[in-house]
Amino acid sequence: MNPVDALHTFTRVAELTSFTQAAAQLGLPKASVSLAVQQLEAQLGTRLLLRTTRRVQLTPDGQVFYERCKDVLADLDELQGLFRQQPAQLSGRLRVDMPVGTARQLVLPSLPAFLRAHPGVHLELSCTDRRVDLVREGFDCVLRVGALEDSGLIARPLGQLSQSNCASPAYLAAAGTPRHLDDLSQHQLVHYQPQLGGRQTGWEWVDESGQTRTLAMPGALSVNSTEAYQGACLAGLGLIQAPTAGLRGLLEQGLLVEVLPEFRAPPLPVSLLYPHRRQLARRVQVFMDWLAEVLRPYLDDASTGSEPSQPSDTARKASRSSSSMVP
């Protein structure tokens, strides 16, 4: 069996969790399917599947290999169709991760148009506040909000999200409206921590010299979910500092009220990250361009032009966000 067919065979076994069903779908003898997987395991030097009398399941290495197999096979499909009469048609799997709020409020409303325009694309959209491992978990690209750390990933800056300070009308009626930073000692801050038990950042603002300052504040609640963060504010549990794009509708409806607008937290950079590959799959490039355009109205100083062919060293040294605070 040639290498490409072996990869196809392995992915069908992994998806169906059955050698028998995979053999039936592929029109092959069960023994040929089993032999193909065994040869792959021998070539890789690792066990890909755990076999019992009742089920077949992926090992941890098998899961990683399966995710990469899907990417390789999708890229091969795209390569084979490169010179067809309709080269603009995209196909294959696209695996993307982005924050929950960004997906729900900004991206999903526009997504039907993208999928109608590219019916051959199957999008796997991960929405989580957890920092995913882009390479190991097989993502084509991830959207990150916040400062970036060093790594070997490529970063495409899109712009910045301005932030607002908000509270519910019920909270302000009970605790009063803060007029100055000195008033914050009498107020509660809902603390956002990507990992509970970590350091509480307190109230952030940018002073007249452009420096970010922090003021410790009391607060009875810490959350690790952006949805819970916004929900806690709506429930009157304290003040929050969050991107304005995700609060705009609530502010317009009067469900939240902005406070201390002159003491806002610094804007959050928004970036697309992807692995260091010499040639991005066309479906990934097209999706990133589309996503940049969707987010453009919500970003300050957005840069949604074409990706430079030679990213700078600074752009190359990017990693997962150190803050996943998002709309």
Is 325 part of any domain?
no
Tokens of 95: 């695996």
Low-confidence ranges of the chain (pLDDT < 50): 85, 87, 302-325
Is 321 part of any domain?
no
Query: Given this model, what pLDDT does residue 134 score?
Result: 79
135 with 209, same domain?
A: no
Query: Given this model, what pLDDT does residue 89 score?
Result: 78
Cα separation of 186 and 219, whole Å? 10
Strand ranges, E, within the chain: 49-51, 56-58, 92-98, 121-127, 141-145, 154-161, 163-167, 191-192, 203-206, 212-215, 222-223, 240-243, 257-258, 268-274
Cα separation of 204 and 164, whole Å? 11
Give the CATH number, domain containing residue 204: 3.40.190.10
Strand order from edge to edge, sheet including 154-161 = 121-127, 92-98, 141-145, 268-274, 154-161
Give the CATH number, domain containing residue 48: 1.10.10.10
253 with 106, same domain?
A: no
pLDDT tens per residue, range 254-308: 999 999 999 999 999 999 999 766 567 788 999 999 999 999 999 987 443 334 3
**What residue numbers bound the domain in which 276 lies?**
88-161+268-316
169 with 144, same domain?
A: no
Is 258 part of any domain?
yes
Query: Given this model, what pLDDT does residue 310 score?
Result: 33
Query: Given this model, what pLDDT does residue 194 score?
Result: 75
Cα separation of 190 and 168, whole Å? 12
Query: Given this model, what pLDDT does residue 118 score?
Result: 92
Is 323 part of any domain?
no
Number of domains in the chain: 3
Is 114 part of any domain?
yes
